[in-house]
Structure 1
Amino acid sequence: MKANFAIKFSRLFVSTLLFCLAGIINANAHPMPNSVVLLDVKGDVVSVELQLPLSELELAFGHDVNLDSEDLVKRLGVQLECYILKHIQPVTADGKPWAVTLQDMKVEPILQSESGPYKELTAHLVMAPPEGASTRNFLFNYDVIIHQVSNHFALVSVRQDWDNGLSQNHPYQVGVVRLDVPSNKILPLQVNIQQGSLWTGFTNMLGLGIQHIKEGTDHLLFLLTLLLPATLVVNRKEWGQFGGVGYSLVRICKIVTAFTLGHSVTLLIGAAGIAHVPGRLIEVLIALSIFISAIHAYKPIFRGKEVFIAAGFGLIHGMAFAETLVNLNLDAWRTGLSILGFNLGIELMQLFIIAITIPWLIILSRANLYKGIRVAGAIIAAVASVGWIIERVTDTPNAIGSTVMAAAGYAQWLVFGLAIISILSLFVKVERNNVASSLSKLKKDALYSPAKGYNRN
């Protein structure tokens, strides 16, 4: 009996020890990475991005995917395509199958993760429902990796939904696909997305355009720098005096309109996918456009041709605007509404900025101190542009770029200060006129004699 007790105690001790060791190991080990499924809901299709960790994929796929992973798609692309398509089978609510097509695959490193650094296979697919079926209500039969690795799971999120005003920067989770332990089955995920509208999508793009300019310090700096001397006339190859309110408003309207037409053309071309220019080159050219406009603000180098310069550089700025829309991959109708709404948002924000700054520049243009303000603005814009050019060519942040971006956060106070200086300049001018008038009157009084009238000697 003592022997049986000793055996039972030994077994209990060993079990307890193993349990504690397992708990210690699990507490210190990294959790295994999960899969991610991102859905982009379009008008007639659903685009899908899969993010599959290679370590987990290898266990389910049955091939050595971690070996020479850079050439994985080249080595096993056909087998991987067959595997993925076999384990993704969406159907309508009444069981009709969707068509699924794999577009591309690539291996990418993941550095920042609770699981530690690892590599994952990113695959892009397109799921098309049967004719007449909705893209917003379907059963998502998915068991990639999970069919073999029982503790693996996939987080499913909607990343883009134009009709509901959802952009790629704010995905929301719709469910988790994992093994259902009680039934020992991987149950399909019911995807039921709220019905949106074209109006919601359009207003979201309008807001996106406003936000783009609000945060686009370089775009606004170019336009404002080009407008700095727009109220002045050229005198002997130098910026002269104020040209008048009518003259100023006409020139400002021409410059702004030309810039708008220029960027609208390339926004349309770029967003439609007709042409594409590398993003870094565009950013460098935008910084260069600021530098050139700063030189012109200091001294007229293309007097009378500001409209053409604004239109030409507008073409470059429009390419940058198009980068925001180029990856939407919408149907023709929604693409057109996106371009219209985004461009309208850009124009509204530009007009707002101009409306709160140009009146003060027109007032200041009449004062002698405007030359100092214009020169200072030109120098600041030139320094900022040089900092941005260096930053964008080297792909390394510098103090100049950081300072300009930090100063942009106080833009409302800069406008307020500009307004105060403008108002003060009016009082100074009035006071100067009063003094001049008083001196003139005193001079006349001094020359006047009751007997002889004015003494001109």
Structure 2
Amino acid sequence: MTGRTVIAFIMLALALVAAPARAHKPSDSYLALKVAGQQVDGQWDIALRDLDFALNLDQNGDGELTWDEIRSQHEAIATYALARLALTSGAALCPIVAGEQLIDNHTDGAYTVLRFRATCPAGGAALGVSYRLFADLDPQHKGLVKLEHEGATSTAIFSPEAARKELLLRAPGKFTQFLDYVRHGVWHIWIGFDHILFLLALLLPAVMAPIAMKEAQTLRAAFIDVLKVVTAFTLAHSLTLTLAGLGVLSLPSRWVESTIAASVLLAAVNNIVPLFRGRRPLAAFVFGLIHGFGFAGVLADLGLPQGSLVLSLAGFNVGVELGQLAIVALFLPLAFLTRRTWFYRQLMTTGSVVIALIAAVWLFERVFDMKLLPV
């Protein structure tokens, strides 16, 4: 692999990360289904920014959604969403009737909360779910579904490529449930762009030898440096994720999200003006404690089955670590191969400035609860 090829590959990878980074995370919705006999009660949290793109909710075009604008479109929202959801029991369709709509705030913005009820002609061993929300508009959209039945909880992720699933009403096996939450953990570290940018900003100096050292940086030395940072980050966020997931400790989500944005900003500035001075692992640990609460906020949206609370929490944590390791495994060899190039020097400076600017916008938005970016 030539140096130019490696550089082009890294630039492509950064473009893929940076493009959606402005939006904090890609499009998700949260669908909760509670089955009792032939009745299914549902609650569907859908991001208003996504609905605005699909239905043009901002009728006066001023860039701000008001309660009156949203309320006047309740029928259109329900019609649009429920036309893209189908529930079945066996071969029989379960008719869905829309209920009330509310507004709720998630960590990435305001969501409409659509409640509905469905009645299945006959009870069965599984509930069929066909999910096509935004499939024609956003191929990256994911639907995170939680099904409750007689105290048992199961989860699933829907996408345009996996739009139909049969969700068993009986409690899933422990191993199946564990794997479900592993998948959730992997997915959420990959869409947690603030977490990714924090980690990458801390790792950028790993392949650069200190100025005082005359010998070139070795891959082994770079690996040890990366290992220290990643281990510190992992230990910290695993600790607080576990405590928050078990309900032992909690912090206000706005404070958590603001501090996460500040951590990205400081990690990027450190690559331009040394702030941590050789203590990047310590910084990774300190800020990793806060990032753990951020992961816990995502997990709260999914819900944890009380019958296997610890196992599901462990699965989600394992998924986060696997997703994180995949990012590091891609970053380290490519960074090491390009460490002496003009591109990598620009990445350390200009790239860090770009990350710092994005993080500064996130910080302002989260502290003052305002939107600066048109997403």
- Partner AA of 1:274 in structure 2: V
Partner of 1:374: 348
Counterpart residue type for residue 302 of structure 1: F
Q: Could you say which residue in structure 2 is the equivalent of 1:148?
A: none
Pick the aligned partner of 2:305 from 314, 330, 338.
330
Which of residues 218, 231, 247 is equivalent to 1:273? 247
- Counting only pairs closer than 5 Å after superposition, residues 24-103 of structure 1 correspond to structure 2 as 38-39=33-34
The residue aligned with 2:316 is 342
The aligned amino acid for 2:181 is: M
Q: Distance in 1 between matches of 2:294 and 2:188?
A: 10
Aligned partners of 1:269 and 1:169: how far apart in 2?
29
- Alignment correspondent of 1:226: 202
Cα deviations by residue, 1:111-130 (Å, 9 ceiling, x for unpaired): 6432999xxxxxxxxxxxxx
* Aligned 8 A contact 2:197 2:264 in 1: yes
8 Å CA contact 1:40, 1:160 repeated in 2:
no
**1:312-346 C-alpha deviation (Å, 9 max, x unpaired):** 11111100101123362532x51111111111111
- CA deviation string 1:351-372 (max 9, x = no partner): 1111112111112223355322
Check if 1:297 corresponds to 2:271.
yes
Most deviating of 375-384 and 196-205? 196-205
Quote the Cα distance in structure 2 between the aligned partners of 1:168 and 1:366. 42
With over 3 angstroms needed to count, the CA separation of the structure-2 counterparts of 1:358 and 1:40, relative to structure 1, is farther
Q: 1:256 to 1:168 in 2, by over 3 A?
A: closer
Q: 1:307 aligns with which of 276, 281, 287?
A: 281
Q: Which residue identity does 1:272 align to in structure 2?
A: L
**1:161 maps onto 2:122 in alignment:** no
State the match for 2:52 in structure 1.
Answer: none
Instruction: Determine the structure 1 residue equivalent to 2:177.
Output: 201
1:2-38 Cα shifts (integer Å, max 9, x gaps): xxxxxxxxxxxxxxxxxxxxxxxxxxxxxxxxxxx95
Q: CA, structure 1 residues 49+169, in 2 after alignment: closer, same or farther (shift >3 Å)?
A: farther
Cα distance change of structure 1 residues 196 and 50 upon mapping to structure 2, 3 Å threshold: closer
Q: Alpha-carbon deviation of 1:39?
A: 1.6
Q: Is the 8 A contact 1:232 1:240 kept in 2?
A: no
TM-score calculated relative to the size of structure 2: 0.57
Kindly name which structure, 1 or 2, has the bigger radius of gyration based on alpha carbons.
1
Deviation >4 Å, runs of 4+: 48-51, 109-112, 156-159, 167-170, 239-242
Cα displacement (A) at 1:241: 7.8
Cα 1:379–1:116 shift into 2, 3 Å: closer
- 2:94 is aligned with 1:114: no
Encode CA deviations 1:240-275: one digit per residue, 9 max, x unaligned.
985222211100011011100010000001101111
Q: How does 1:404-415 map to 2 (within 5 A)?
A: none
CA distance in 2, matches of 1:345, 1:234: 34
- For 1:40 and 1:311, the matched residues in 2 are separated by 42
* Closer, same or farther: CA 301–235 of 1 in aligned 2, 3 Å: farther
Task: Quickly say closer, same or farther: Cα 1:40–1:279, change in 2 above 3 A.
Answer: farther
Gap change, CA 1:276 and 1:291, over 3 Å in 2 = same
Give 1:389 deviation, angstroms: 0.9
Aligned residue in 2 for 1:288? 262
What amino acid does structure 1 have at the position aligned with 2:174?
A: L
Contact 2:272 2:348 in 1 (8 A): yes
Residue 153 of structure 2 contacts residue 305 of structure 2 at CA under 8 Å; is this kept in 1? Answer: no
> What SS does the corresponding residue of 2:296 show, helix, strand or coil?
helix
| Shift, 1:156, TM fit | 5.3
Give the AA of the match of 1:243: Q
Q: Is the 8 A contact 1:38 1:156 kept in 2?
A: no
* Aligned with residue 244 of structure 1, among 218, 224, 232: 218
**Structure 1: how far apart are the matches of 2:117 and 2:316?**
34
Does the 8 Å CA contact 1:241/1:365 hold for their aligned counterparts? no
* Identity of matched residues, %: 32
Matched, 1:215 2:215: no
Distance 1:203 1:111, change over 3 A: farther
What is the count of residue pairs matched by the alignment? 250
CA RMSD of aligned residues (A): 3.8
